[in-house]
Amino acid sequence: MRLVLEARERTGLVLRLAAPLLAVALTVVSAVLVFLALGLDPLEALRVYFVAPVSDAYGLQEVAVKATPLVLIACGLSLCYRSNNWNIGAEGQFLAGAMAGGWLAIATHGAPDGPWLLPAMLLLGALGGALYALIPAALKTRFGANEILTSLMLVYVAELLLDWLVRGPWRDPQGFNMPVTVGFEPEALVPPLIEGGRLGIGAPIALLVVLLMTLVLRHTLAGFRIRLVGEAPRAARFAGFSTRRMTWAVFAISGGLAGLAGILEAAGTVQMLQPGLSPGYGFTAIIVAFLGRLTPVGCLVAGLFIAVTFIGGENAQIVLGLPLDVTRVFQGMLLFYVLACDTLLTYRPRIVRGAAA
């Protein structure tokens, strides 16, 4: 007796839309069980996690701040995944973009600057992330290396490189020996959209990316190529579509968006470079991409939801005394349930009696 998975002939639109909602519901049920095991009131804990972050204007603004990099990165990752290219290294590309754009801010520190500085930093950040993402793309297309492993290992290279830079050549000489760079000049900072707030121009940039990617995927030949290469690679080869060029293109776009998110974070929220610049945006964006059904609008909605859990986790540290790792556990559960629901949506489990062939 053995359990096998048989491919379903078709899956309805209702099931596809219901799968992520079911994953969220299962995550909430699991969270309730965790809260009960910790001796907490589950209703109060759920209020702290999911209601308190959106109960006032400041909380809504912070949710948008957290959602901006998640949406940017997830939109790029969704292109990779839809074309059957598995970029797991967005965290490293995020840091590469922050370092590339941050270099310009550090190099021009104390010198007369102009309005050109911030756009140049954003451009360098996107370029740095794109070039870093092309490393696993080149290794895959030239040597057949597994892009999952290479992109993931490059994350640690980027983290260690940033750590060395801020402790060595880029360390602020007036920073009391702390591993940080000098604070960016006002011309190198992302201007806030709301006076006194932290929400910057990254939010409208993320919305623009969602709009452009939706148009590209639905109404252009490039979007059709991405879908065809991912869903029917053999048909794509017969149609003359190059999987090699597609791999390079989607990795460059994905890395560029991650790098753009990185420099927006460095020049906006953090306003310098330091270790731990990212709280795990690159890895969390993988959950956002799958929860959003690999669509730009879905990534926007999922990014906002995951951002609520980030803010809720910070609230839980203060109100409930829970470590931030509990939030990461919930996010991991969510990814597990999303993948499980997708698997059961695509395949039907069946018990087969008798010995295997």
Of 327, 308, 328, 322, give the one whose Cα is nearest residue 55. 308
CB-based contact 272:180 (threshold 8 Å)? yes
The pLDDT value recorded for residue 77 is 97
What is the rounded CA–CA span in Å between residue 327 and residue 114?
41
* H-helix segments, the chain: 13-37, 42-46, 57-82, 90-107, 117-143, 147-167, 202-219, 221-231, 233-238, 243-264, 281-291, 296-319, 325-346
Burial environment of residue 289 by CB neighbours within 10 A (0 to 12, 13 to 18, 19 or more): buried
- pTM assigned to the model: 0.91
Q: How far is CA 254 from CA 89, 185, 307, in A?
A: 10, 29, 20
> Given this model, what pLDDT does residue 168 score?
93
Q: How far apart are CA 295 and CA 277, in angstroms?
A: 27
pLDDT (tens place) for every residue of the chain, 357 residues total: 777 877 777 766 677 778 888 899 999 999 999 999 988 999 999 999 889 888 888 889 999 999 999 999 999 999 999 999 999 999 999 999 999 999 999 999 888 778 899 999 999 999 999 999 999 999 999 999 999 999 999 999 999 999 999 999 999 988 888 999 999 999 999 999 888 788 999 999 999 999 999 999 999 988 888 888 887 777 777 777 888 999 999 999 999 999 999 999 999 999 999 998 998 999 999 999 998 989 999 999 999 999 999 899 888 888 888 888 888 888 889 989 988 888 887 777 878 876 554
239 contact partners, CB below 8 Å, separation of at least 6? 228
φ/ψ bin of 16: left (φ > 0), alpha (ψ from -120 to 50), beta (otherwise): alpha
Backbone angles phi, psi at 342, to 5 degrees: -65, -40
Task: Provide the β-strand partners of residue 348.
Answer: 6
Ramachandran angles phi, psi of 274, nearest 5°:
-160, 160
CB within 8 A of 150, min separation 6: which ones? 89, 135, 136, 139, 140
pLDDT score, position 134? 97
Angle at 104 between CA 102 and CA 106, to 5 degrees: 70
Q: Is 171 left (phi over 0), alpha (psi -120 to 50) or beta?
A: beta
Give the tokens for residue 270. 């953090």
The pLDDT, as a whole number, for residue 6 is 77
Please report the pLDDT score of residue 71 as a whole number.
97
User: Distance (Å, rounded) from C-alpha 124 to C-alpha 305?
Assistant: 30
Report how far residue 223's alpha carbon sits from residue 79's, in angstroms, rounded to the nearest whole number.
9
Residue 18: what pLDDT? 81
